[in-house]
C-alpha cells in the first residue's frame, strides 16, 4: 500500500477512475505516512477521521460516475487558509484556538472538486519567515536532512515538507515574498505562485494584502496545473481577484517551446552566490536551449532595491492587517487593568518575536513624518520594479533564475538568527515577483554536493502562467530530478 | 448678513467656525459587507464575519452606498471625483473590530461644493463645502451596563457614513444652525440619510476659533466633538467663542484641542490636546481597488435627482405665488412640500399654504400626529379651500368643517352637504332677514343713522346669527349698507 503515496495526483486520478485503487485506501496510505513522518512536524492539526469520510464519499462518486476533477485526492492545507470547523491558527499563539465558521474560497474550490483534506500544515507565524522557524508549533524539519536537522524553508515549510515526504498528494501554499517557491526549492518539490489576483484571498489569513497569493505545492509540474485549475478563479468576495479567464493549465504541458525566448537577468548573478547554484542555472538554460528555446540576456536594473522595498511594504500592510488580533472578540486574551492593558497583554503574549519585529517596522514606516520617506518611496520603487519586468518582457517570454541563492541550512543557524537581514537576503530572487504581481514557479533542478535539493524559478508575464507551465514542463523533463 | 460680533469692554471679536458632519448612508446593507443596516434589531444581530474583523475576511464595496454618496455630492452642488481611493485609518479601540477604519483620505469621492442658507434677517449666505468622503462606522460601546465591563454592539460596525467637511465659513451660531437644517433637508429630500441627529444618524463636530474683528489671522481652534442637535451646535459655538474671548482678554493663549459639549449645562469641556492625538498611519487600503466612476454612472444618478428644496422653493414663489417665507417653511421638509403640492393642485395655493401652516399644523400638533398619519388628506384640504374660494362656505364655517374633518377624516363636500352648512348667497333670503331685523331693532337703526356707525358690526352679527352662520358675509355687508343708508 505504501507505493500509493508515490503516485502523483495525475497518476492517482487515472487509477481512481479506472477503479484500480479506492480513495479510501489512497487516503489511508497518506494517513499512515503522516504518522510515520510525524517527526518532520509538518502538520499542526490532523483531520484524519473527516478525511476518510470524504474519501468514502469520493469512492461513492467514482462508483456512480459523479466524480469531480480532484475526487479523492488527499491534500494538506497550509494553516493560513480558514477551514470551516477545522482549527486554523496561522501558527500563532494569538489564534491557536480559532475554529473558523467559514471556508476560504480556494479551499472551497478544492472541496467542490472532490479533494480530501488530511489536515493543516505548519508555517512561519502569519507566514512571516523563510525557514518555518517562527511557527508557534516549532520548525518543520526538511525531509532531506541528513545528520543535522535542516529547515524546510518558509513560510509554507509544512506544505513543501509534507509533499516531499509523501504525507499528502499535494498541498496548498501562499506566497507573499517567496513563501511557496523557497520551501519548494528547499524540499525538492514544485510550487507555483500565480499572478496576483488569480486566486481569491477570501478566507486566507492576511499577511500583506497587495502581495499575498495562494498557489499549490506538488510533486511535479503537471500536478501544479491540476491543482491550480481548481484553486484559481474570480471571486466577488475578493475585490482584488481578477476576472481574467482561467485557461486549462494542463493544456500547456508538453507544448513545444521552440523559439521561446528565455530571459536571464544580469543583475541576479549576485556576489557570494553558491557556485553550484550558478552551475545549475547554466544547466537549466542549456536544457531549455536544447528544447528549442532561445536564451536572451535581460536587465532588471532595480533588482537591488527589491528587498528593501519589500521589507517596507509587507510589514506596513502586516502591521495594519494584524491589528484585529486584539484579544477582544476571539483568540488569545490576557486581561489587564483597562482596555490598553488588555491589548498589550494579549498581543505581547500572543505574537512571536518575528511578527512583533515586522509590526514594529510596519508601524514605523507608516508613521507621520516617515511615511513619505519609507512607504511612499517604496511604492514608487515598486512601480520601477514593475516597469523593469514590463521592459524585460519586451525581449523575452519567460525569465529563468535560481529560486534561492543558498541551499537549505540548519535549524537554529546562528548567522540567520543573529541578524534577521541574513534571513531576509534568501528572498532576493523571489520578492520582486510579488512586488510586480507576476506568476512564478519553482521546480527542482538537481542536488547540491551535500545531497540537498536546489530549485530553479521561472517567471512569467501577468496572467501568462501557461508559458510558465510549458517551459517548466520541458525543464522538468530535462532535469530528470529524482524525487525523494 | 446679520453680524455676530462679541463685544466686550476691551474690544470686538469675530467667530470663525467650520463643521464636519457624519451622515449615516441609507442603504439596505453595510458599506463593505452584506449585513443588514436595520436600526433597532437585537444587539450583535446584524453582523457579518467581515464586520467582526474575523481572520481572512475582506471588504467588498457596496455599490448602493456609492450611488447614495454621488447623489449627495450632486445635492451639495459639488464636484464628483471620478477617481477616488480608500485608505485605512489605523487605531485601536474596542469598537473598531479590524483595528482600522476604512475611509477615504487623499482622494475623496466628492470634492468642493456649496450650498446657500437663509438667515433670519432675510439675507442668505453661501457656505462652501471642502469635500465629502465615504467610510465605515464603528461599533457601539456600551459603558453603563456594568461597573467594571464595557459591552460592544457590532450592529453599527460597517454601516456606511458620508463625512461632509465645510470650509471655515461660519461667522455666527445662527449660520451654522441654518446650514445644518439645510443640509438635513437636502439629504432627506435625496433619501440618502435620515438626518436624525438625536438618533446619531447625523453627527456634527464644530471647529471654533475667534479673532479680533477686522483681523485676518487664524488662531488655534477647538474642535467640539459629536454634538447631537442643531440647537446644541449653536449653543456650543456661542459658548466656546465666548470662552476663548475671555481667555484671550485675560492675556492667556489657547492651544489646539478637542472638547466635548455638555448639553445639560450648555458648556464645552476639555477632552485632549491635539498635539497628543493619535497618529493614524493612513495608507491606501490594499484590499480595495481605486473607485473609478464613469460619466455614464454619474449622469444616471443625476437623472434620478429629485427637485431639491431651493429649486422647489423658487418654483413655489414664482409659479404658485407663495411668499418666500411660506415657501421656505413648506419646503424645509419634502413630505410637507409634497403634501402641499398635492393639496394646492387646482386650488388657491396661497390659501392652501395659509391653512396648511395654520390650522392644519396646529391640528397635527394637538393630536401629536405625523404628517403621514394626518386624518385630513391633502385632497380634502384642497377641497376645503375650494369650498371657501367658490363661496360655498364662509371662513367661519370652514373652521367648523375642518374640525369635523380632523375627527372623522370625512371629505368637506360631504360634511357641508350633510350638515346643511352651505352658505346662503340668495339675496332675497338675506334681504328678508335684514328687513326683519331692522323692523325689530328700530332703536339701533336710529342710533346708527344718528352717527353711531360702530353699530354696523352688531347688525352684521345679528343677521349672521339668524342665518345660523351660513349667510355670505359679503352679501350681508352690501345689503345692510344699502338698507341702513
B58 to A88: CB separation less than 8 angstroms, yes or no = no
The answer, yes or no, to whether residue B275 has pLDDT greater than 70, is no
Nearest CB to B56; choose among A206, A328, A330: A206
CATH superfamily of A2-253: Amidase signature (AS) domain (3.90.1300.10)
Tens digits of per-residue pLDDT, B51-101?
999 999 999 999 999 999 999 999 999 999 999 999 999 999 999 999 999
The answer, yes or no, to whether residue A66 has pLDDT greater than 90, is yes
Yes or no: say if A481 and A307 are a contact pair by the CB < 8 Å rule: no
Catalytic residue among A92, A104, A135, A155, which? A155
Burial bucket for residue B140 (CB in 10 Å: 0-12, 13-18, 19+): middle
B58 to A201: CB separation less than 8 angstroms, yes or no = yes
Work out the average pLDDT over A86-99.
98
Distance CA B127, CA B78 (A): 12
- Angle, nearest 10°, between helix axes B427-440 and B473-484? 50
Phi, psi of A451 (to 5 degrees): 75, 25
Q: What is the helix (H) or strand (E) element at residue B284, kind and residue range?
A: strand B283-284
Tens digits of per-residue pLDDT, A2-25?
699 999 999 999 999 999 999 999
- Angle, nearest 10°, between helix axes B295-303 and B63-75? 70
Q: How do beta strands A294-298 and A440-447 pair?
A: unpaired
CA distance B103 to chain A (A): 14
The answer, yes or no, to whether residue B1 has pLDDT greater than 70, is no
The answer to whether residue A155 is catalytic is yes
Beta bridge partners of B89: B101
Work out the average pLDDT over B286-307.
97
Helix residue ranges per DSSP H, A99-179: 105-112, 157-164
B281 to A239: CB separation less than 8 angstroms, yes or no = no
B289 to A240: CB separation less than 8 angstroms, yes or no = yes
Work out the average pLDDT over A440-452.
97
Tens digits of per-residue pLDDT, B200-215?
999 999 999 999 999 9
Q: How much is the pLDDT for B2?
A: 56
Q: Does A373 touch chain B (CB under 8 A)?
A: no
Greatest alpha-carbon pair distance for chain B in Å reads 101
CA distances from B354 to B325, B344, B409 (A): 12, 11, 20
Domain boundaries, chain B: 5-301, 307-419, 427-484
Catalytic residue among A12, A22, A33, A78, which? A78
What is the C-alpha end-to-end distance of chain A, expressed in Å? 17
Q: Does B139 touch chain A (CB under 8 A)?
A: no
Yes or no: say if B313 and B331 are a contact pair by the CB < 8 Å rule: yes
| B283 vs A contacts (CB less than 8 Å) | 316-317, 320, 366, 371, 375
Distance CA A269, CA B426 (A): 114
**How many C-beta atoms lie closer than 10 Å to residue A264's C-beta?**
18
Residue A239 grid coordinates: 475585490
Report whether the peptide linkage leading into residue A293 is cis, meaning its omega lies within 30 degrees of zero.
no
Tens digits of per-residue pLDDT, A36-47?
999 999 999 999
Q: How confident is the model at residue B148 (pLDDT cuts 50, 70, 90)?
A: confident
Beta bridge partners of A444: A455
Phi, psi of A406 (to 5 degrees): -135, 170
Yes or no: say if A404 and A426 are a contact pair by the CB < 8 Å rule: yes
Yes or no: say if B170 and B18 are a contact pair by the CB < 8 Å rule: yes
Phi, psi of A319 (to 5 degrees): -60, -35
The answer, yes or no, to whether residue A205 has pLDDT greater than 80, is yes
A328 to B279: CB separation less than 8 angstroms, yes or no = no
For Cα atoms A197, A203, A204, give the angle at the middle one, nearest 5 degrees: 65
Yes or no: say if A16 and A26 are a contact pair by the CB < 8 Å rule: yes
Q: How confident is the model at residue A1 (pLDDT cuts 50, 70, 90)?
A: low
Count interface pairs A-B at CB distance under 8 A. Answer: 98
B281 to A363: CB separation less than 8 angstroms, yes or no = yes
Residue B89: closest CA among B100, B79, B78, B80: B100
Catalytic residue among A179, A230, A242, A319, which? A179
Count helices and strands in chain A by DSSP H and E runs: 16, 11
**Measured on CA atoms in the order A177, A181, A184, A188, is the torsion positive or negative?**
negative
Q: How confident is the model at residue B178 (pLDDT cuts 50, 70, 90)?
A: very high
The answer, yes or no, to whether residue B107 has pLDDT greater than 90, is yes
B281 to A201: CB separation less than 8 angstroms, yes or no = no
CA distance B156 to chain A (A): 16
Residue B23 grid coordinates: 451622515
Q: How much is the pLDDT for A169?
A: 98
Domain boundaries, chain A: 2-253
| B289 vs A contacts (CB less than 8 Å) | 239-240
Q: How do beta strands B283-284 and B140-142 pair?
A: unpaired
Spatial neighbors of B201 by CB under 8 A, at least 6 apart, are B23, B24, B39, B193, B194, B195
Residue A419 grid coordinates: 541578524
Residue A332 grid coordinates: 488569545
Of residues A418 and A300, the one with the higher pLDDT is A300
The answer, yes or no, to whether residue A242 has pLDDT greater than 90, is yes
| A328 vs B contacts (CB less than 8 Å) | 94, 97, 152
Distance CA B307, CA A220 (A): 66
Work out the average pLDDT over A380-390.
98
Tens digits of per-residue pLDDT, A321-351?
999 999 999 999 999 999 999 999 999 999 9
Tens digits of per-residue pLDDT, B456-480?
889 888 888 888 888 888 888 888 8
Distance CA B439, CA B459 (A): 12
Yes or no: say if A343 and A335 are a contact pair by the CB < 8 Å rule: no
The answer, yes or no, to whether residue A276 has pLDDT greater than 90, is yes
CA distance B166 to chain A (A): 25
Distance CA B168, CA A39 (A): 68
Spatial neighbors of B403 by CB under 8 A, at least 6 apart, are none
CA distance A237 to chain B (A): 6
The answer to whether residue A193 is catalytic is no
Burial bucket for residue B173 (CB in 10 Å: 0-12, 13-18, 19+): buried
| A81 vs B contacts (CB less than 8 Å) | 56
Q: How much is the pLDDT for B422?
A: 81
Yes or no: say if A34 and A118 are a contact pair by the CB < 8 Å rule: yes
Residue B325: closest CA among B305, B351, B353: B353
Yes or no: say if A120 and A51 are a contact pair by the CB < 8 Å rule: no
| B54 vs A contacts (CB less than 8 Å) | 100, 102, 324, 330
Q: How much is the pLDDT for B345?
A: 94
Q: How do beta strands B113-118 and B151-153 pair?
A: unpaired
What is the C-alpha end-to-end distance of chain B, expressed in Å? 55
| DSSP string of B92-145, one letter each residue | --TT-TTSEEEE--SS-SB--EEEEEE-TTS-EEEEEEEEEEEEEPP-EEE-SS
Helix residue ranges per DSSP H, A46-104: 48-64
Burial bucket for residue B275 (CB in 10 Å: 0-12, 13-18, 19+): exposed
Q: How much is the pLDDT for A303?
A: 92
A239 to B97: CB separation less than 8 angstroms, yes or no = no
3 state SS of A255? coil
Residue A170: closest CA among A125, A92, A127, A230: A230
Residue B27 grid coordinates: 442603504
The answer, yes or no, to whether residue A384 has pLDDT greater than 70, is yes
B287 to A98: CB separation less than 8 angstroms, yes or no = no
Give the predicted TM-score (pTM) of the model. 0.91
Q: Does A366 touch chain B (CB under 8 A)?
A: yes
Q: How much is the pLDDT for B39?
A: 76
Q: What is the ipTM of this complex?
A: 0.96
Work out the average pLDDT over A41-59.
98
Q: Does A234 touch chain B (CB under 8 A)?
A: no
Work out the average pLDDT over B88-115.
97
Q: Does B279 touch chain A (CB under 8 A)?
A: yes
CA distances from B88 to A339, A442, B284, B338 (A): 22, 34, 6, 42
**How many C-beta atoms lie closer than 10 Å to residue A149's C-beta?**
17
Which residues between 285 and 304 in chain B have a beta carbon less than 8 angstroms from any beta carbon of chain A? 286-289
Helix residue ranges per DSSP H, A127-251: 157-164, 181-187, 221-231
Spell out where A356-480 has E strands: 398-402, 440-447, 453-460
Distance CA A308, CA A319 (A): 17
The answer, yes or no, to whether residue A99 has pLDDT greater than 70, is yes
CA distances from A257 to A475, A479, B236 (A): 10, 16, 75
Residue B3 grid coordinates: 453680524
The answer to whether residue A146 is catalytic is no
**How many C-beta atoms lie closer than 10 Å to residue A271's C-beta?**
5
Q: How do beta strands B151-153 and A43-46 pair?
A: unpaired
Kindly state the DSSP code that residue A209 receives in the 8-state scheme: T
A239 to B58: CB separation less than 8 angstroms, yes or no = yes
B57 to A202: CB separation less than 8 angstroms, yes or no = yes
Q: What is the Rg, in whole angstroms, of the alpha carbon atoms belonging to chain A?
A: 21
The answer, yes or no, to whether residue B40 has pLDDT greater than 80, is no
* Domain B427-484 listed as CATH 3.90.1150.10: no
Lowest mean pLDDT among A33-47, A141-155, B419-433: B419-433
| B279 vs A contacts (CB less than 8 Å) | 367-368
Helix residue ranges per DSSP H, B170-282: 173-190, 230-249
Amino acid at each position: 500500500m505504501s507505493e500509493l503515496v508515490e503516485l502523483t495526483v495525475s497518476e492517482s486520478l487515472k487509477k481512481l477512475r479506472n477503479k484500480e485503487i479506492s480513495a479510501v485506501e489512497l487516503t489511508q496510505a497518506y494517513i499512515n505516512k503522516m504518522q510515520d513522518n510525524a517527526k518532520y512536524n509538518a502538520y499542526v492539526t490532523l483531520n484524519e477521521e473527516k478525511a476518510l469520510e470524504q474519501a468514502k464519499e469520493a469512492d461513492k462518486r467514482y462508483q456512480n460516475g459523479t466524480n469531480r476533477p480532484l475526487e479523492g485526492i488527499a491534500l494538506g492545507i497550509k494553516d493560513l487558509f480558514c477551514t470551516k470547523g477545522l482549527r486554523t491558527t496561522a501558527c500563532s499563539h494569538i489564534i491557536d484556538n480559532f475554529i473558523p465558521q467559514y471556508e476560504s474560497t480556494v479551499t472551497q474550490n478544492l472541496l467542490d472538486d472532490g479533494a480530501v483534506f488530511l489536515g493543516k500544515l505548519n508555517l512561519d507565524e502569519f507566514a512571516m519567515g523563510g525557514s518555518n522557524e517562527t511557527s508557534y508549533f516549532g520548525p518543520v524539519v526538511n525531509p532531506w536532512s541528513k545528520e543535522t536537522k535542516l529547515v524546510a524553508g518558509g513560510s509554507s515549510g509544512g506544505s513543501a515538507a509534507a509533499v516531499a515526504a509523501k504525507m499528502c498528494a499535494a498541498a496548498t501554499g501562499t506566497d507573499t515574498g517567496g513563501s511557496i517557491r523557497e520551501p519548494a526549492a528547499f524540499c525538492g518539490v514544485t510550487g507555483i505562485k500565480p499572478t496576483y489576483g488569480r486566486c481569491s484571498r477570501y478566507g486566507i489569513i492576511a499577511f500583506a494584502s497587495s502581495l499575498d497569493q495562494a498557489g499549490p505545492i506538488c510533486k511535479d509540474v503537471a500536478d501544479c496545473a491540476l491543482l491550480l485549475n481548481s484553486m484559481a478563479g474570480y471571486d466577488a468576495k475578493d475585490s482584488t481577484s481578477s476576472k481574467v479567464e482561467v485557461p486549462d493549465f494542463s493544456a500547456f504541458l508538453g507544448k513545444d517551446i521552440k523559439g521561446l525566448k528565455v530571459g536571464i537577468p544580469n543583475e541576479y548573478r549576485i556576489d557570494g552566490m553558491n557556485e553550484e547554484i550558478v552551475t545549475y542555472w547554466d544547466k537549466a538554460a542549456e536544457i531549455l536551449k536544447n528544447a528549442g528555446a532561445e536564451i536572451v540576456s535581460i536587465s532588471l536594473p532595480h533588482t537591488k532595491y527589491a528587498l528593501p522595498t519589500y521589507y517596507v511594504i509587507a510589514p506596513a500592510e502586516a502591521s495594519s492587517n494584524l491589528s484585529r488580533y486584539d484579544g477582544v472578540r476571539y483568540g488569545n486574551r490576557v486581561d489587564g487593568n483597562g482596555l490598553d492593558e488588555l491589548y498589550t497583554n494579549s498581543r505581547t503574549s500572543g505574537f512571536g518575536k518575528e511578527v512583533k519585529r515586522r509590526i514594529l517596522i510596519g508601524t514605523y514606516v507608516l508613521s507621520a513624518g516617515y511615511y513619505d520617506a519609507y512607504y511612499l518611496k517604496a511604492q514608487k520603487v515598486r512601480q520601477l520594479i514593475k516597469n523593469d519586468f514590463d521592459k524585460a518582457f519586451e525581449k523575452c517570454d519567460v525569465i529563468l533564475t535560481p529560486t534561492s541563492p543558498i541551499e537549505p541550512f540548519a535549524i537554529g543557524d546562528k548567522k540567520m538568527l543573529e541578524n534577521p537581514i541574513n534571513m531576509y537576503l534568501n528572498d532576493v530572487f523571489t520578492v520582486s515577483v510579488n512586488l510586480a504581481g507576476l506568476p512564478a514557479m519553482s521546480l527542482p533542478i538537481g542536488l547540491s554536493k551535500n545531497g540537498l535539493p536546489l530549485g530553479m524559478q521561472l517567471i512569467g508575464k501577468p496572467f501568462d502562467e501557461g508559458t510558465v507551465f510549458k517551459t517548466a514542463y520541458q525543464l522538468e523533463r530535462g532535469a530528470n530530478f529524482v524525487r525523494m | 448678513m446679520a453680524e455676530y460680533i462679541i463685544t466686550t469692554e476691551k474690544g470686538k471679536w469675530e467667530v470663525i467656525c467650520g463643521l464636519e458632519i457624519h451622515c449615516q448612508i441609507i442603504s439596505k446593507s453595510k458599506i463593505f459587507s452584506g449585513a443588514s443596516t436595520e436600526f433597532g434589531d437585537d444587539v450583535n444581530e446584524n453582523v457579518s464575519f467581515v464586520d467582526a474583523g474575523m481572520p481572512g475576511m475582506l471588504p467588498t464595496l457596496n455599490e448602493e452606498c456609492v450611488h447614495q454618496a454621488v447623489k449627495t455630492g450632486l445635492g451639495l452642488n459639488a464636484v464628483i471625483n471620478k477617481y477616488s481611493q480608500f485608505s485605512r485609518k489605523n487605531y485601536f479601540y474596542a469598537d473598531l473590530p479590524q483595528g482600522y477604519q476604512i475611509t477615504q483620505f487623499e482622494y475623496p469621492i466628492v470634492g468642493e461644493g456649496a450650498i446657500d442658507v437663509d438667515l433670519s434677517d432675510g439675507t442668505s449666505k453661501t457656505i462652501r463645502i471642502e469635500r465629502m468622503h465615504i467610510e465605515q462606522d464603528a461599533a457601539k460601546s456600551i459603558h453603563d451596563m456594568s461597573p467594571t465591563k464595557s459591552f460592544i454592539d457590532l450592529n453599527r460596525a460597517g454601516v456606511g457614513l458620508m463625512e461632509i467637511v465645510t470650509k471655515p465659513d461660519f461667522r455666527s451660531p445662527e449660520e451654522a444652525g441654518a446650514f445644518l437644517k439645510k443640509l438635513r433637508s437636502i439629504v432627506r429630500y435625496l433619501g440618502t440619510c435620515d438626518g436624525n441627529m438625536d438618533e446619531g444618524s447625523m453627527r456634527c463636530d464644530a471647529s471654533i476659533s475667534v479673532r479680533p474683528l477686522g483681523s485676518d489671522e487664524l488662531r488655534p481652534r477647538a474642535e467640539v466633538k459629536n454634538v447631537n442637535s442643531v440647537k446644541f451646535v449653536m449653543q456650543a459655538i456661542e459658548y466656546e467663542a465666548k470662552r476663548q474671548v475671555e481667555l484671550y482678554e485675560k492675556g492667556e493663549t489657547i492651544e489646539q484641542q478637542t472638547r466635548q459639549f455638555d448639553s445639560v449645562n450648555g458648556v464645552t469641556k476639555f477632552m485632549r490636546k491635539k498635539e497628543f492625538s493619535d497618529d493614524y498611519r493612513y495608507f491606501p487600503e490594499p484590499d480595495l481597488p481605486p473607485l473609478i466612476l464613469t460619466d455614464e454612472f454619474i449622469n444616471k444618478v443625476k437623472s434620478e435627482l429629485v427637485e431639491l428644496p431651493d429649486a422647489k422653493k423658487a418654483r413655489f414663489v414664482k409659479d404658485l405665488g407663495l411668499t418666500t417665507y411660506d415657501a421656505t417653511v413648506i419646503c424645509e421638509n419634502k413630505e410637507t412640500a409634497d403634501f402641499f403640492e398635492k393639496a394646492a393642485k387646482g386650488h388657491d395655493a396661497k390659501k392652501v399654504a395659509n391653512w396648511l401652516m395654520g390650522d392644519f399644523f396646529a391640528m397635527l400638533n394637538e393630536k401629536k400626529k405625523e404628517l403621514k398619519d394626518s386624518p385630513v388628506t391633502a385632497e380634502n384640504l384642497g377641497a376645503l379651500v375650494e369650498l371657501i374660494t367658490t363661496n360655498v362656505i364662509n371662513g367661519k364655517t370652514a373652521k367648523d368643517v375642518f374640525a369635523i374633518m380632523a375627527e372623522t377624516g370625512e371629505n368637506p363636500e360631504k360634511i357641508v352637504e350633510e350638515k346643511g352648512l352651505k352658505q346662503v348667497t340668495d339675496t332675497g333670503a338675506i334681504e328678508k332677514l335684514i328687513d326683519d331685523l331692522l323692523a325689530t331693532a328700530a332703536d339701533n337703526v336710529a342710533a346708527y343713522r344718528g352717527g353711531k356707525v360702530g353699530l354696523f358690526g352688531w347688525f352684521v352679527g345679528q343677521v349672521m346669527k339668524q342665518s345660523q352662520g351660513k349667510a355670505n358675509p359679503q352679501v350681508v355687508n352690501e345689503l345692510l349698507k344699502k338698507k341702513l343708508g
